Amino acid sequence: MAEVMTIRLRVDLECDCCYKKIKKLLRKFPEIRDQAFFKEENTVVIKIVCCNPHEIRDKLIRKSRKTIKGIEMIVPEKPKPPPEKPKPPPEKPKEPEKPKP
């Protein structure tokens, strides 16, 4: 089953050369679905859809050649179980009908 993992990359986005390298590098991986570049924070947030996201992380590190300064894997939160419905109070037993005289 494919797993969706979010990864935050720390990169120097103010350098045009580094920006182009990262964009080109991320295009090479078909497993990467979404990319969001944040120049103010010098980060890139990507979503990976594959069986082994750690393998993709390792490939990114090897191929980037010091362009990526740090990688943080963001673990998705587990969905909360639905709240339990309160049980209705037990019904009182009905009294038998009294015969009419």
Q: For position 40, which CATH number holds?
A: 3.30.70.100
Residue 36 confidence (pLDDT) above 90? yes
What's the whole-number mean pLDDT along residues 47-55? Answer: 85
Domain of 50, in residue numbers? 3-74
What's the whole-number mean pLDDT along residues 35-44? Answer: 92
Residue with tokens 């090479």, as numbered in its chain: 28
- For residue 97, being part of any structural domain is answered with no
Encoded tokens for 55: 């393998």
**Burial 16-29, CB ≥16 within 10 A → b, else e:** eebbebbeebbeee
- For residue 39, being part of any structural domain is answered with yes
Residue 46 pLDDT level (bands cut at 50, 70, 90)? very high
- For residue 84, being part of any structural domain is answered with no
- For residue 69, being part of any structural domain is answered with yes
Domains held by the chain: number = 1
- For residue 18, being part of any structural domain is answered with yes
Chain segment 13-28, per-residue pLDDT in tens: 888 888 898 999 999 9
pTM of this prediction?
A: 0.69
